[in-house]
């Protein structure tokens, strides 16, 4: 374990240390964060591939005291370095995807253009490569008895992690904070689109017992039908329904209890930042009006932990890179801090 005798948690963070200015190595840390710099299938705004680096920098502004989990960080939090080869592959395929998306947006047929056919094939193959890479990385960490969190990147990134978790822990549920269902079979021809992550997860990972979606406010008829025909494997708390319940007098505490009661004993949190009100994530790639406040989400996570359920991992995705004081990364870093603390408390 790291020698903390000379580490003062009350002073400004040392940027030469790791995430949140903490002085831990990967070997010493109980919780390891895997950055996944990937945004190939982003269908609207881009920028999230570089968010792990920006969140890391913003984390130096986070005070490392949490009254709810005052000593969680002493177990060690560590973020791995961004894998440059993955980032370079993302950048290359992102350019291909932008040309492809522009082409189909004009109503042109992919099969009429050999270059577009080739691009689509390369993008889908690249996404499979990424899924396999994430699987191998997270599997190795889990086998080393680390708690693991994933920092995206777009929402397509954690599929391999879900698979590794199923092999490690058996059946579990996913608590998804998101403006979107992400239940499309494909989107724009991409089989591993950010808009298909939960469809792919449910269809390929039998260990996922249930998916609870919170804050959804933009979805297709295809996704609606998938939910309705899922036999309650998918339960969606749509944003407008949550607002209506609040307008009619129900407290967030009551609603949160109802949500938690639907979760199985083991829980994974998938946190797409666009599930929040856009004032908290103005540059996220696919923004939608409405959404949750940070305090609501933190309260919900707290209720999950206090219910006695076990958190087994999380992802934080779709945090884009802002311009003015990098507000997006600041919010992302603070939500990441809470996720780390809740995961640690649940496993202490």
SS3 68: coil
Measured N-to-C along each axis, helices 197-204 and 159-169 cross at an angle, to the nearest 10 degrees, of: 30
> Is residue 2 situated within a structural domain?
no
* Count of domains forming the chain: 1
Residue carrying the six token digits 């000379």? 6
> Is residue 10 situated within a structural domain?
no
> Is residue 190 situated within a structural domain?
yes
> Is residue 46 situated within a structural domain?
yes
Question: CA dist 28 to 19, 32, 36, Å?
Answer: 14, 10, 22
Question: Residue range 216-230: average pLDDT?
Answer: 98
DSSP state of 292: B
Cα–Cα distance measured from residue 274 to residue 280, given in angstroms and rounded to the nearest whole number: 9
Mean pLDDT across the chain: 95
> Is residue 72 situated within a structural domain?
yes
DSSP sequence for 11-66: SPP-TTSSGGG----TTT-SEEEEEE---TT--S---GGGHHHHHHHHGGGS-S--
Question: Could you tell me the sign of the dihedral formed by the alpha carbons of 101, 159, 347, 72, in that order?
Answer: negative
Q: Where are the beta strands (DSSP E) in 154-307?
A: 172-177, 208-216, 234-238, 266-272
- The pLDDT value recorded for residue 324 is 59
pLDDT-derived band at 255, boundaries 50, 70, 90: very high
Within 8 A by CB and 6+ apart from 214, the residues are 175, 176, 177, 178, 237, 242, 259, 275, 292, 300
Within 8 A by CB and 6+ apart from 104, the residues are 110, 116, 188, 189
SS3 179: coil
- The pLDDT value recorded for residue 2 is 80
Task: Indicate whether 214 pLDDT > 70.
Answer: yes
pLDDT digits (tens, 9 = 90+) for 9-58: 999 999 999 999 999 999 999 999 999 999 999 878 788 999 999 999 99
The range of the structural domain enclosing residue 27 comes to 19-346
Percentage of residues in the chain with pLDDT exceeding 90?
89
> Is residue 4 situated within a structural domain?
no
pLDDT-derived band at 273, boundaries 50, 70, 90: very high
- Start-to-end CA distance of the chain, whole Å, equals 16
pLDDT digits (tens, 9 = 90+) for 130-165: 999 999 999 999 999 999 999 999 999 999 999 999
Cα–Cα distance measured from residue 187 to residue 43, given in angstroms and rounded to the nearest whole number: 9
> Is residue 258 situated within a structural domain?
yes
Cα–Cα distance measured from residue 327 to residue 225, given in angstroms and rounded to the nearest whole number: 37
Structure-block tokens of residue 293: 């406040």
Q: What letters, b where the CB count within 10 A reaches 16 and e where it falls short, cover 85-102?
A: ebbebbeebbebbeebbe
- The pLDDT value recorded for residue 45 is 75
Q: Are 148 and 134 in contact (CB under 8 A)?
A: no
**CATH number for the domain that contains residue 166:** 3.40.800.10
DSSP sequence for 96-141: HHHHHHHHHHTT--GGG-HHHHHHHHHHHHHHHHHHHHHHHHHHHH
> Is residue 169 situated within a structural domain?
yes
Instruction: Name which of 270, 315, 298, 348 is nearest 73 in CA terms.
Output: 348
């Amino acid at each position: 374990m790291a020698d903390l005798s000379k580490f003062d948690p009350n002073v400004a963070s040392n940027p030469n240390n790791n995430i949140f200015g903490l002085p831990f190595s990967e070997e010493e840390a109980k919780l390891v964060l895997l950055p996944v710099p990937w945004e190939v299938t982003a269908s609207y705004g881009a920028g999230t591939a570089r968010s792990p680096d920006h969140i890391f920098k913003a984390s130096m502004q986070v005070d490392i005291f949490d009254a709810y989990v005052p000593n969680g960080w002493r177990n060690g939090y560590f973020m791995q370095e961004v894998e440059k080869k993955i980032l370079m592959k993302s950048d290359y395929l992102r350019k291909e995807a932008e040309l492809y998306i522009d082409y189909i947006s004009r109503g042109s047929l992919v099969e009429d253009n050999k270059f577009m056919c080739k691009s689509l094939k390369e993008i889908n193959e690249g996404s499979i490569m990424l899924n396999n890479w994430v699987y191998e990385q997270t599997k190795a960490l889990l086998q080393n008895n680390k708690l693991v969190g994933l920092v995206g990147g777009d929402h397509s990134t954690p599929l391999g992690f879900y698979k590794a978790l199923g092999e490690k822990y058996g059946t579990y549920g996913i608590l998804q904070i998101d403006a979107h269902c992400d239940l499309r079979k494909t989107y724009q021809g991409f089989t591993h689109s950010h808009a298909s992550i939960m469809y792919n997860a449910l269809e390929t990972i039998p260990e996922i017992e249930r998916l609870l979606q919170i804050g959804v406010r933009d979805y297709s008829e295809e996704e609606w039908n998938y939910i309705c025909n899922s036999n309650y494997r998918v339960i969606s708390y749509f944003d407008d329904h949550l607002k209506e319940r609040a307008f009619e007098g129900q407290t967030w505490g009551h609603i949160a209890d109802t949500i938690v009661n639907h979760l199985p004993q083991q829980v994974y949190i998938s946190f797409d930042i666009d599930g929040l009100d856009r004032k908290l994530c103005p540059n996220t790639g696919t923004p939608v009006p409405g959404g949750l406040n940070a305090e609501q989400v933190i309260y919900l996570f707290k209720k999950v932990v206090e219910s006695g359920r076990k958190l087994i991992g999380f992802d934080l995705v779709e945090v884009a890179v802002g311009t003015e004081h990098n507000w997006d990364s600041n919010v992302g870093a603070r939500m990441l801090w809470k996720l780390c603390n809740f995961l640690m408390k649940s496993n202490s």
